[in-house]
Each structure stands twice: as structure tokens, then as C-alpha cells.
Structure 1
Amino acid sequence: MTRPIGYYVHHQGDGHRQRALAIARAAGGAVTLLGTGLAGRTGAIPAVDLADDRVSGDLFDGRDHGDRPASLHYAPTDHDGIRRRVAQISGWIAEARPALMVIDVSVEAAMLARLASVPTVYVRLNGLRDDRPHREAFDAAAALLAPFHAALDDAAIPQAVRRKTFYAPGIVVPTAVTSADPGLVLGVVGRGGGTGDGTLWAEAARSVPERRWRVIGPCSVPKHPPANLEICGWVDDADRMIAQAGIVVGAAGDGLVGSVIANRRPFLCLPEPRPYAEQTSKAARLSALGAAVVAPCWPARDDWRDLLDRAAALDPAKLASLDMTDGAGRAARWLQALADAPDEQRRMTA
């Protein structure tokens, strides 16, 4: 393959970037990343750092607070960042002539690439995304890529969408760790997460004092933390810490769920509100498969012990059944084959 594959990376959370990097590395230099905030964060992988399109600073809620065409999700008017962003993407497409664009995720970026005469692969996340913009993006795509096992798909997903989907769990592979500490509870707060109140973690730690508690991610430090609680903040080795934990507590984001599955860690899942019920749908499937204990809201003080005990008793084989080896390699080879296929065969390849 002589022409590159473009990979659009959304800036909400960090799971999109990690997934894109894993696939790009497996593709051996055939992929260029395009996204906001990528400068200095892609290593040797080529990247285009796009202008910011947000209307509210660092917090992106996906809302543009205005009228928009019914086939789009986010189209604020008179926004300099969006004008420059569209010009950057279009300019790169005109210069690089990509064989394929992977969109992870944005209906607007997908439609822009398709208007620029580039076939697209849309990354399909969990949840029931059956609104008009998603349907349009799915229909316009040559194929869909799901970074999770087919067993985690929402039961209401139409068969036509499933048939168009390449399922690729295990894309981001954690660092191998030989042993875990059964007495350690690891709380994971993600970028954009809503469980970063240190006083809540302090109360949880006090409710189960015989276990050690550690919290990573953007979490406030309580004024009087109990002796069995450690607030670590951002860390560079989150996967290793997840692998070493006796029980992992956190939301149902792609990055955390993928690491829990890969490391076969007992998981107490606290799904957070997300558009299209992304996390609640994923958590419901994990629970139904016996792969996680799910609490629909922050647990009461007296509920923590039972929830943790139930999580500790989970069968790790249930998590193993949701994993695949070489997920990034499988996805990269599939994308390269799709990029090399004649245009009329791309939909047959999906």
C-alpha cells in the first residue's frame, strides 16, 4: 500500500488516542493521526494537530447550543477553530490523497472526509446510536469498526449494522504483570469522569478498612483521608496499576474496560451518564455476561463491602471470553486490506 490511511482522533477522554496509536503502530507507519491536542503525544507516528473546535474550553459536552442540520451533531456557527480545523483536514486529504479515513469518532469529520471523496471507516462505540446523524455516518461508511467483543454489543443494534461491523477487542494491550494484590482496591477516575471527589473515596475506604484503597486520575484530596487511602492523581502506568489491583472500581469507559478485560481483574463498574447510553449499555452487557458487578450509582457506605465481595468472587474466565489476542494487528491488517481493495469491493470486504 503506497497511499496512507488517515485516522481522525476525538479529544474527549484519552481512549481514542490510545486506540489510534496502537493501530497505527501495528500498521507500520501507514497511518497518520489527525486530532486536537496530539502535538508531542504520538511518538514516531505522524500526526496533524488540529485547531480546537470546543465552545467551552477544556470541557466538551458535544453541544453547540444552536440550530444545526438534522444530520449533524455539532456545528456551531462563527467558530474560528472549526474553520481552521476543516481547512486542515481538507488540506491534508488533498495533499496526502489517503486511501481511507478512520473516524474515531465524529459524524462531522466523517461527512467531511466523504465529501472530500475519501472512503471512511466509522468507529462504532457501545450504546444504541440510532439517531439520524449516526445512521447517516454508518450508511456513508464503507465499514464500521467496533473496539469491543460482539458479545458486548447492545441487543437492539440492527443486524444490518452488525454485518457491516468488524469487531476488534484487545486493541490496547496492557503491560504484563505477574501477580496482583488481593487486598488492594484501585479506583480509576478517567479524563472527563465524574467520580473525582476525594471525600467520596475517603468514605468508601472507611467503610471497608481492612482493604487498602488507591485512586488514580483527576481526584481531589480529602482534608482528612483515612490511613488506608492513597490519592495518586495522574499516573503514567495506569495499566500496570490496574493489573496489580485486587479489585478495580471505575466507570465503563473503553480504556478502563479494555484494561480490566485484558488483565482479568475483578471489576466493580460504576457507569457514568454518556450520550446514547454508551456506558450503561456496556455495563449491562458486562453484568449479564458475569464479567462485572455493576452499581448504577455511587454506592452507599453500607453497600461497599458486599459489592467488593461480589466483585472478588467473579470468574476471570468470563473476562477472558471477551478478549482477543493482537487486536491492534487484526484491526490494522483489516484496514490495510480495505484500503487496498477496489472501490466497488470495499463494502463486500466489511
Structure 2
Amino acid sequence: MTRPIGYYLHHHGDGHRQRAIQIASQAPDRFVLLGTGLAGRTAGLEVVDLPDDRPDGVTAFDGQDASDSRPDALHYAPVDHENVRQRVARVTGWISTARPALMVVDVSVEIAMLARLSATPTVYVRLNGRRDDAAHLDAFRGACALLCPFAEALDAPETPAWVRSKTLYVPGLTGKPSTCAVQGDVVLVVVGKGGDAGDGVKIAEAARAHPDVRWRIAGPVTDIPEAPSNIALLGWSEDVSAQIAAASVVVGGAGNGLVNAVLAAGRPFICLPEPRPFDEQYTTAARLEAVGAAVVHPAWPAPAQWPGLLAQARQLPLSKRVGLFDPDGPRNAARRLIGLADSATHDRSLLATAPMDEVIS
């Protein structure tokens, strides 16, 4: 009997879920998703539901606790938290029963350590940013491979050579190419779930100052008193690929999901990085700017700055963006993970030579 591959996905933001679905859907009989709040949101894939481990009454947090007694090898290990106890029991119970050949961890150093303690090899999803703390380095060291959902050109320059050597760079895990016709006067502002809602007042100021531009806002936004007629609020959508492909310019943060979607569509991008743990978005934004794939601005621009920024974004060469996206990313990731799970020695060198059709039928 073929042993399953477990895929743990974190509940902060939505990129983890999107990546998991894209990869696991390539071989739904091999992957089992483990996470919180996944009911009805995994495209029919098998799921192990886990209790919410966040502090009581908190819906968003940075994944770390402030305990003086927390070991350096962990980020979040609260004491006397009943849901954490149940979460650990459910993960180890599933591992004991299902005997997975591999555990993909996207992302949690605690789950990676737990899987390794349960005699299960791990592949750790390595996001961007300064992840040189003891906990991340131990998770990287303990994994048989690391998976980066972005191109190597966007990796942090200070990433150690030994970490890069264990890394499988697989861009294109989210986002999909589109043939939508571009609407030359539309600017799409995308607001994700991982941070604060968009500032409706500032967006309205920009729209009033530039009535020749149609502003489309996807995602949560604060109230806009007397919204100008050139603003359209699209609300939250699980998939904004079509809106991104149709926009003349896309504006948003440097989260992996949005960046991949913009690169997939090949659209000009004004990147406004947001604060995230380990400087993830600031690092990604800096790399996008360095390779000429986006215009980066440190905060929401003043109304008078928009014409120059939009013109600058439209002048960026398309070739700088195209090379950072792989439309076969999900298939390539699934192939590599299945090849690794099925190799008796979990040898990374086998991944590059495993024929696609031998691991995905």
C-alpha cells in the first residue's frame, strides 16, 4: 500500500492553503492536508482538522509567544493551552495511524519538530525573509529538503549556502496565466487576509485626485464615506486572477500569493510591502525591485505621487517578470515531493532525475 504524504498548512493568511491545494490536487490520492478551519475550503481533498492554537480571543498573531522559558528551538509553545494539547495529539495520532512517508510543513517549526520526533521525514516550506534564528535553522537542518515557493532570484542574499543547497525552488505554486483583455484605465488594489484592511480614506483620496483612473479594490477595506464614482469595491474573493490579468497596474503587498499571481499574469506591479514576521515582505519587495520586476514604495503613496508611480510601473520590461514564474509549478512540486516520499533513502539527488509520469499518473 502506498503511504500518504501529509501536508500541514498554517492558518495565518491564505497563501499556505492556496499552495497546499495547488500541489495536492496534482495527486489527490497521495496527499492529506492538516490544518485549522479547512472545512469546505480544500477542493475536496482529504483533511485532518486541527484545533485552533491561537491565544484565546485572538484571531491574528505573529506565531510567537513571549514566555521566558520557551526553548530557542521553538517559536510558539504556550503553557497550559488545551487546544495546543489536542492539536499535538491529533497530529501525532494521525502520523501513528497513517504512517506518512513524508510530512510537508508550511509552515511551523513546532510541527516540523513534532513530525521528526514521530520518526517522519519532513520537507519544510521556506518563506522569504531573515530566518536565521535558532528555531528556523533547526527546522531547516532537520528537514530532508526545503521547498521555496518563489524563484531563486528572489531569495534573500544573506541565505546561507548550506540552506540554499537543500532548497527546491518552485515558483508558480499560486497564480495562473490568463488571456483576459487588459483594461488600460483600471488600477487594481489587492488587500490580503494576513494584515490590516485597506485604508478606505486614503484609497478614496487617490481616486478623487485622479478621476481618469478606475480604481478596483479587491479584499477587505475600511469604510469609505462618500466614495467617488471611479471606485469599485470587489470584496473578498478566493481567486482574483482574472481581475489581476485585466488590470493595467496592480497595487498590493509582497505576500507570496499576490506576487505569484501578478507574475503569472505578467502585469505591472506597484509593491507596497507590509510588516510581517522575519521581514518576509520587505525582503521579497527588495528582491523584486533589484531584478526590475516591480516598483516598490514604502507606504501608501500621497495622491500626487500616483501618476509617476503608475508610469514607472508600466515601463518595467515584461521579461523581468516572466522569468520569475513557472506555470508548471504545482506539478513540479508534486513530482518532487512524491519522488522524495517514494525514495527509500530520501535522497534529494533522486528528485532531479525522476520522470514526471513515473510519479504522477
TM-score class normalised by the smaller sequence: over 0.9
Distance 1:195 1:57, change over 3 A: closer
Alignment CA distance shift 1:38-1:91 (3 Å): same
User: Quick check: 1:194–1:272 contact (8 Å CA) kept in 2?
Assistant: no
- Range with greater deviation from structure 2 (271-280 or 3-12): 271-280
CA distance in 2, matches of 1:140, 1:307: 44
4+ runs deviating over 3 angstroms: 347-350
Alignment of 1:124-139 (within 5 A): 124-139=126-141
- Worse-matched range after superposition: 182-191 or 196-205: 196-205
Tell me by how many angstroms 1:207 deviates.
2.4
User: 1:56-135, aligned counterparts within 5 Å?
Assistant: 56-67=57-68, 68-135=70-137
Q: Choose which of 168, 180, 199 in structure 1 pairs with 2:201.
A: 199
Shift of 1:219: 0.7
After TM superposition, the score normalised by the length of structure 2 is 0.94
CA distance in 1, matches of 2:333, 2:95: 22
Show the counterpart of 1:225. Answer: 227
Q: What is the CA-CA distance between 1:236 and the residue it aligns to? A: 4.2
Check conservation: 2:206, 2:306, Cα contact below 8 A. yes
Quick check: 1:175–1:240 contact (8 Å CA) kept in 2?
no
Q: What is the CA distance between 1:60 and its match in structure 2?
A: 2.3
**Aligned Cα RMSD in Å?**
1.4
Query: CA offsets per residue over residues 283-317 of structure 1, 9 Å max, x none?
Result: 01101111000001121222111111111111111
The match for 1:30 is 30
Give secondary structure in 1 for the equivalent of 2:307: helix
Structure 1 unmatched ranges of 5 or more: none
Taking the aligned partners of 1:178 and 1:60, their CA distance within structure 2 comes to 37
Aligned residue number for residue 148 of structure 1: 150
Describe how 1:167-316 pairs up with structure 2 within 5 A.
Answer: 167-174=169-176, 176-316=178-318
Matched residues in 1 for 2:91 and 2:110: separation?
11
Q: C-alpha separation between the residues in 2 aligned to 1:346 and 1:80?
A: 38
Q: Distance in 2 between matches of 1:245 and 1:113?
A: 43
CA distance in 1, matches of 2:111, 2:30: 20
User: Which residue of 1 is the match for residue 45 of structure 2?
Assistant: 45
- The SS at the match of 2:25 is helix
Are the aligned partners of 1:122 and 1:145 in contact in 2 as well (CA < 8 Å)? Answer: yes
CA deviation profile, 1:255-282 (whole Å, cap 9, x unmatched)? 1000000000100000001111110110
- C-alpha distance in 1, partners of 2:229/2:176? 29
Q: Work out the CA distance in 2 between the residues paired with 1:302 and 1:195.
A: 23
Give CA deviations for 1:171-229 in whole Å, capped at 9, x if unaligned.
12426233111110000000022351211110121222211001110112311111111
TM-score after normalising by structure 1: 0.97
1:26 partner SS: coil
Matching residue within 319, 327, 351 for 1:317: 319
Q: Aligned partners of 1:71, 1:107: CA distance in 2, in Å?
A: 8
1:326-349: per-residue Cα shift (whole Å, max 9, x none)?
100100010011001123x52544
Distance 1:325 1:231 in 2: 29
Q: CA deviation at 1:40?
A: 1.3
**Could you tell me which amino acid in structure 1 is paired with residue 8 of structure 2?**
Y
Residue 76 of structure 1 aligns to which amino acid in structure 2? Answer: P
* Contact 2:124 2:139 (C-alpha < 8 Å) held by counterparts: yes
- Alpha-carbon shift at residue 114 of structure 1 (Å): 0.3
Structure 2 counterpart of 1:19: 19
Identical aligned pairs, as a percentage? 54
Gaps of 5+ in 2: 352-361
Contact 1:15 1:254 in 2 (8 A): yes
Which moved further from structure 2: 14-23 or 195-204?
195-204
Equivalent position of 1:9 in the other structure: 9
Once the two structures are TM-superposed, the CA of residue 248 in structure 1 deviates from its matched residue by 0.3
* Residues 128 and 277 in structure 1, CA contact (< 8 A), matched pair in contact too: yes
TM-fit CA distance, 1:241 = 0.8
SS in 2 for 1:34: strand
Q: What residue identity is the alignment partner of 1:312? A: R
Question: For 1:265, what is the secondary structure of its paired residue?
Answer: coil
